[in-house]
Amino acid sequence: MKQGKIMRALVLALAVSPAFAQTTTTAPPSGRLLASNCFQCHGTNGSGGLERLAGESVSEIYNELKEMQRKSPPKMMDMHARGYTDAQIRLIADYLSKQR
């Protein structure tokens, strides 16, 4: 079967593919990937959309998200805020506060 043949070839390829060398890159900022969950509604890097977030202070963003987690009845963003742990909210707030 064609599929089986391809899969076997791929497993072989895996065995011989070279490991990626460690390079001198800087680590991606922590919080960047998490905060990118905001970008669909708030623009890339929190640049606008439903509301601009880039450059707000850490405490503004943190407190607002914590408040939303408790709001009832929840609107969409209140519901969404409930998807993050406290530590994740801190990372998101920190990342967005540094964007311009």
Partner 1 sequence: MVKRRDFIKWAGASGIGFAAGAFDMLAMAEETSAAFVPVIPTNTGIKGNVVVIGGGMAGATAAKYLRYWGGTGVTVTLIERDATYASNIMSNLVLNGSRTMSSLQYGYGKLASSYGVKIVKGDVVAIDPVGRSVTLGSGTRYAYDRLVIAPGVDFDVLPGLETATAQAKVPHAWKAGPQTTTLRNMITAMPTNGSGVFVMTIPAKPYRCPPGPYERACVVADWLKRNRPGSKVIVLDANPEIIAEKHSFEEGFALHGIEYRPNTTVLSVDASTMTLDTNNGKVPGAVLNVIPPHRAGKVITANGLADADGKWTSVDVLSYEAKLAPGIHVIGDASATTQPKAGHIANQEAKVCADAILRMFSGRALDQAPVTNSACYSPITFETASWLTVTFAYDPVSKTMLPVPASAGEASARSKDNFEEMNKWFTALMGDTFA
Cβ–Cβ < 8 Å for 45, 99: yes
C-alpha span between 94 and 87 (Å, rounded): 11
x-or-dash string of contact with partner 1, 22-61, rule CB under 8 A: xxxxxxx---xxx-xx-xxxxxxx-xxxxxx-------x-
Residue 83 beta carbon to partner 1: minimum distance, rounded to whole angstroms:
3
Residues whose CB is less than 8 angstroms from the CB of residue 59 and which lie 6 or more positions away in sequence, other chains included: 93
Residues in contact with partner 1, total (CB under 8 A)?
A: 50
- Confirm or reject binding of residue 90 to partner 1 (CB under 8 A): no
**64 phi and psi angles, rounded to 5 deg:** -65, -45
- Choice from 59, 80, 89, 90 touching partner 1 (CB under 8 A): 80
Q: Kindly list the residues in this chain that would bind partner 1 in the complex (CB under 8 A).
A: 2-3, 5-7, 9-14, 17, 20-28, 32-34, 36-37, 39-45, 47-52, 60, 73-74, 76, 79-84, 88
